[in-house]
Every structure is written in C-alpha cells, then in structure tokens.
Structure 1
C-alpha cells in the first residue's frame, strides 16, 4: 500500500511508522516548532533507507547551522534516493544538496524548476521563500515581488486551509506592500494552527508594516510563553516585541525583553537571527539616544565573531559592521569592508556595492560624522533591499540615514524621507521625529 505525505505526494517507504513520523516531522519543521528532529529520527529508525526523512533531517541541521551534520545527512539521502527514490524524491534531494553545499544560485534555479513539476512539495517550495530564503539572499532588488509571484503562480495547487501556504503567501504579500491582504492571510494561518511560530512571525511582520506595533506586542506577549525557549524563532519573535516597545519610546521594556529572550546567553535561535537581532536592537537603542547597559555590545560581538568570521554574506556583513561600529572596533570593520570591496570588484558579491557602503556608513555614524554617513548612504538607499532579510530588519539602515540627515542639518531631506515612511507605515517614533523637524 502506498504511503503519502501531508499533501498527497507518494513516499518511498513501506513503513507506516516512518511515513507518519515523517509527516509529523515536516509539520514541525515548517512551523519552526520543537520536536522535528526527534520525529524525523524516529522515521529514519523505522526505515533507514527512507531518503526524504534523511533529506528533511539534513535541512533541519542546515537551519540550525550544523553544516557537517547537514552534509552527512544529505549524502545519506542521496544514496537512499538512488536506490529506491522516485524522480521527485531524487530531484528533492538534489535541490537540498545544492542549498546545503552553498550553491545558492543553482539551488534557486533547481528549486523553481522542481516547484513547476511538483508544486505541492512544500519543503522545496519553502526554500526560495522567507526573509532568509534563496530569493532574499540572491542579491535581487525585486526579491519581494519574486516571492509574491512564486506564491501566486502555485496558489491553485493548495487548499484554502493549508496553514503552511497561507503563512508564506501572507508574509510575501505583507513584505511586498499589500499589508492588508498579507495580514488577513497570516491571521488565517495562525487561526488554523496556533502552534506555528512562522505564522506568529509573519503576523508580527504584517502588523509592523501596518503600523500596529502595540497589537504585535500583545500578540507576542500572549503567545510566546507557550513556545518552548528551544524553538528556533523564540528569541527573534521576542525581538519583534522589543522593537515595538522601542518604537513607542519604551526603552526600558525593550531592554527587559532583550535581556530575557534576545541576547546571546538567552537565545537558542539560529546564529543569523541572534547576530542580526542583537546588533540591530542595540544599534537602534544607541541611535535613538537611549543608554545601552555596559557589556551588552561586547557580549553580542563576542558571540558573533566566531560565528561569522569571514565576509561574503551581505545581510550578516551589515550587522557585523553595526557590532564593530558599536564596540569601536574600527580595525575589524575596515578589514571587512576591504574584503567586501574586493568581492564587489571581482563580481562575487551578489548584493553588490551597497554592502560595503552600508558598512562604511555605520562607521561614520558611530564616529558622529553624520554628513559623511548621509553622503555614503543616500546614493545607495534604493539598493539596500539587496541585502535580504525583511523590511523590519532593513529599516535600521533607513533609520541611520534619516538620523544622519537630521543631525547634519539636512532637515528638508530628512523630512521628505520621513513623510514617505509615515504614509507607508505610521509609527509613534516617526511621528516624534517628524514633529522635531517641523517644530
């Protein structure tokens, strides 16, 4: 008797237990919920030759930044798929293998082709999506639109109550400017499956983009206690609440959330989240004029240095620059800028010259050379999207430019930027800044 995944695709296993635990593991993986590793290990124990269970375990290792384990698991998946996998399963493993081995451009190309043939193979369809997906980190300037296009192209293949698809379709729309539609879709996803960290995350983004920060705080405050601290998004979802508190001007509340959930010693999240969340929140606190307690910058930098010692990942490079500037490590920042500049000249940095420009601007801002900061950032402001991540994460760069203009006496240019942002996304912080400029 054939076994199937949650969306009706056949599975090459003769074990009911393996198929059932695989379905559970995929649900947990796609909802960023604890227990996925255990479920997938049970699937593999029930059928050691089950290729897709090995592949999903490899994906989970990759998410957790465990590259050696991910490579070993995907190799086992490839061997198993060659023995008794279907065409879909072999393609599935091949795509994941490319992603795990760092061949991002080829992985994106193959993932899109795979989705055309098997759109309901959601582990592969998920790879181009999200803030850290293959589209976001491709260096494309239009990756927000590309995610929407991908979701809409395949929407007909999913039921109206598919919580996973609703989550990512909604997030894609909210990030691309259709905030109302995005919020409606992500709310439906959350209503269907509350034990879904990705849905809460997407809904928080939609609320942020809609200027509903206090609603996001309430949502997260009520939901987060039920999400185990080992969950990969625990610290990052808490970061959203801290960001909303800071937008209200409540630095004390933001710092309390930071201490309890976000700082490296408190978070079990992915390194990319821990580094970006700590760097951007501390930077915002300092830039907005609040005191950062002693030791926080240094603790964040100490965590980040061994996690990302080399330049070349645009999103991380920007946040490593914020940490270096915040701790006064000018030598480390200049070394990273030099490496990034070489990559730009060699054509090997997908996001291009905007990355070293942001890093140089961060140093100028930290040294209070606001005119230089603005001079560096203004010409590349439209290209910041190329670093990937989300609008909420990238906004730290826009804040830097607005504050640099305000503090260097360029009130008219700061006013124009704030006016556009207030029309797009009203916030109490921007309203305060706008009042300062128009007083």
Structure 2
C-alpha cells in the first residue's frame, strides 16, 4: 500500500478520481486492490475481507468501494446473484448508490460492467472495462477484472492484447507496474509467445521475487514445452518466494505436481497433493483451489493411480457447488469429484440442474454454451466412467476445438485432451484406436520429448482389437 498521506489526491494525480471525501476509504480501496493484484492477503491489514469491511465503514456511500467488493465476490466465481441473496442485495445497493450521486464517467462504466457480469453477460462486461482502459490505461481494477474475465471466456488473444494496449503507460514509477508485466506475460504465454513471456516474467521477478503470478507463467511455459527437469528445478528454487501467496500457492503447487505426473512419478505428485493442495483447498474453499484439487486427482485417475478416499474429501467441498452453474469449466471439475467418489445422486443433480437452466439461458453467456459444449463434455466424462469409451469419444471428439470456449488455460484444458486419448485407446473400435494414435502423433509434434506422450505411444502400440 502506498504511504502517500493523502491517498485521494494520489488517485486524482493518477487521473483516477475516486468519488469520496474519505481519505481512509481511498487508502483501504488501494489496499484491497494491491492484495488482489499480488494474489496475497496481507494479514497485517486484516486481509482483503478485513479491508473491505473497514472500507465500507469509512464511507458506506463510496460507490467504488461497493464495486471492488462486489467485483471480487463475482469474479471469484464461487458466488452469483442467482445463488446468493446477500450478493444480489449488495449489487442492488451499488446500483442505487450509483444513480443517487455524481460519479465520473469511469466510475459509471465500472458499475455497468459489474451489472453485465452479474447477469452472465461476460463479453459485454469486458467491452466496458476495455472502454475504461482506452481513456484510463492505468486503471488496474479494470485491467484485472477484464483479464480474469477474458480468461474465463477462453478469449486468449483478447486477454493478451488488453494488456498490450496499456503496457507502455505502466512505467516503473507507477505502483504495481511490475505486476502488470506478469499479467502481460501470462497472455503472451497462452498465445504461444513463450520467449517473450518468459523474458517479461523474469523481469517482473527481478523487481519482486514474491510475484507468484509471474512464477506461475514460467511454470506454464515449462509445462507447455514438457521441460520437466527445468520446471521441477524452478519450482523448488523459488518455493520460499511464492508459498505465502495464499491465493495462488495451491495453484503453483498444482503446477509442480503436474511435472511429476508428466514423468510418471505418481508418488511424488500425491505427496505434493497431500501436503499442499488438499489442505490449502480445505482451508480456502476457493473455486480455483477446488478446480485444481479435482483436476489433479482426475489426471492421476486417468493414469490408473489408486486414490484411496481422496475423492470423498474433495466431494465435501464440491457438493455445495453442484447446482451453481456459474462457469461450465467449474461444473465439469465438480463433476469429476462426484464421479470419482461414485456419488451418483450428486452427479445426476449436477446434470439435471444444468440441463434445466440451459433450456432458458436468457442472456447468460455460459448457459448458452451448455447444450453445445457443457453438457456433451459432462456426458463424455460420465460415459468414460461407466466404461463406454466409444460413446465418450463420440461426444468429445467433435467438440475438441470448441472447448477453448469454456475457458481456463491451455494447461488446465489439457485434461480433456488426455481424456479423449485414454477413451480412444480403451475403445473396442479399431478406428477409434487408430484415432488415438493420430492424436498422440499430433501431441508429440506439439510437445516434443514429453514422457507422458511416450508412455501413451508405447501403450497404443500394444493395443490390438478384433476388427
């Protein structure tokens, strides 16, 4: 947090006027934004939650205070106005406040963007944040909200270019500018500009080695290139720098464990899971941690690893999200846990409630994708679990190039590529086994020297079915 005595004046000098007379409210707004940008709850300030409650007390009518509070709740994707009456009421309060006081154009756009996001119109919300950034390139809240939402939409190029457009304005004298390097490096990495992404992430880490997001970009690069040793060494060397980033540490440990799965060292992957991923997920309950938890166990499951009662422990966390249907990406990871725990009732509940909502999606972007993408993907997982590999391939193969629309990163969505290969390999049909070999050749070209691909190619060579 900046030490400027008059925080309101500091925001004004930056061209980002905040409509409040309370200097304390401006300081707390800054503190919340800083913690969001750095992926770390600063306990000495009471964390994000503590700062938000003090912020509301400092000026209950500060519209941007309501914007940051509601935005973090919505964009964390663990809640929605459809599910949460308190959030719905908080959004209404924000809308009423915004109409009852003179606000800047920028502040009005922030309110409208959140209103769009809350009604499921994610692309329109991004349009409004981008409008803000055109005239206020150093509005970090608009940049982060837009970045996260492009990520949920699978709009990788937009995610990269959103930062590219403002990047020249983030000079070293501006607070948190090194974190913008990290945000930019992630978009570059997701669009396969690996060298440029790695250079920027290292620049960001040279300025602040505790920047867990830049560590995360480098973890992705090593993952995408299947550079297992380099990846493992990097995570080990930097662990002390990022393990206290409470919002991202679980995810970085997830990346670390992926290298072990890649090289077939399942015990080491499970050790990281048991020591870091499961406990962190249990204490945070955050959607990102829940997704990592399910994804990690599912990948091990595909590799044939015995998981004991680990799925049941995850199910305790995911069960409360079965009927959420905020993001399809989250839905399918919740489904992994109910299938893993063999809880048929929860699986049915997830599928039937999604089918029901998908009948009348209204303006909800995610629900509009459910019939063509979300439901076939979920059904493919169910069929695979029931041993109907042919059916799983029939559902998954036609949508493989559309799956980017459910969002997440290339590394996160790779679990669906792995599922398709396993389903095709285990199919009784010669044609589908041949498809598996084709997919493995493609994978080998895109990620040379991957131990996992080599393992699967060896497996494919031993599979012969009766024609």
TM band (smaller chain): 0.7 to 0.9
Question: Contact 2:285–2:317 at 8 Å: present in 1 too?
Answer: no
| Aligned mates of 2:245, 2:85 — CA distance in 1 | 21
Question: Contact 1:330–1:363 at 8 Å: present in 2 too?
Answer: no
| Aligned mates of 1:411, 1:112 — CA distance in 2 | 46
1:351 equivalent in alignment to 2:404: no
1:30 equivalent in alignment to 2:44: no
For 1:16-415, what aligned pairs fall within 5 Å after superposition? Answer: 17-35=24-42, 36-37=47-48, 38-39=50-51, 49-62=61-74, 65=78, 82-83=100-101, 85-100=103-118, 102-129=120-147, 133-138=148-153, 143-159=155-171, 162-227=177-242, 231-263=246-278, 267-269=282-284, 271-292=286-307, 294-311=308-325, 313-344=327-358, 346=360, 349-352=367-370, 353-408=372-427, 409=430, 410-415=432-437
**Residue 263 (structure 1) shift:** 1.7
The 10-residue stretch of structure 1 (365-374 or 331-340) with the greater mean CA deviation from structure 2? 331-340
TM-score normalised according to structure 2 size = 0.81
SS of corresponding position for 1:412: helix
Question: Contact 1:33–1:232 at 8 Å: present in 2 too?
Answer: yes
**Residue 42 (structure 1) shift:** 5.1
Q: Which residue pairs with 1:437 in the alignment?
A: 460
Aligned residues: 432
The 10-residue stretch of structure 1 (89-98 or 232-241) with the greater mean CA deviation from structure 2? 89-98
The 10-residue stretch of structure 1 (23-32 or 35-44) with the greater mean CA deviation from structure 2? 35-44
Question: Contact 2:281–2:293 at 8 Å: present in 1 too?
Answer: no
Deviations 1:236-258 (A, max 9, x none): 22111111211111111111111
Deviations 1:60-91 (A, max 9, x none): 44455465665566666566655354222232
Question: Contact 2:323–2:354 at 8 Å: present in 1 too?
Answer: no
| Aligned mates of 1:68, 1:201 — CA distance in 2 | 35
Question: Contact 1:163–1:189 at 8 Å: present in 2 too?
Answer: yes
SS of corresponding position for 1:350: helix
The 10-residue stretch of structure 1 (147-156 or 342-351) with the greater mean CA deviation from structure 2? 342-351
SS of corresponding position for 1:278: helix
Question: Contact 1:31–1:196 at 8 Å: present in 2 too?
Answer: yes
**Residue 343 (structure 1) shift:** 4.7
SS of corresponding position for 1:3: helix
Question: Contact 1:264–1:300 at 8 Å: present in 2 too?
Answer: no
Deviations 1:359-379 (A, max 9, x none): 111122212222222122111
| Aligned mates of 1:83, 1:310 — CA distance in 2 | 34
SS of corresponding position for 2:264: coil
Q: Which residue pairs with 2:3 in the alignment?
A: none
SS of corresponding position for 2:41: coil
Q: Name structure 1 gaps, 5 residues minimum.
A: none
User: RMSD value over aligned CA atoms?
Assistant: 3.1
TM-score normalised according to structure 1 size = 0.86
**Residue 285 (structure 1) shift:** 0.9
**Residue 400 (structure 1) shift:** 0.6
- Match 1:3 to one of 6, 9, 30: 9
| Aligned mates of 2:280, 2:210 — CA distance in 1 | 25
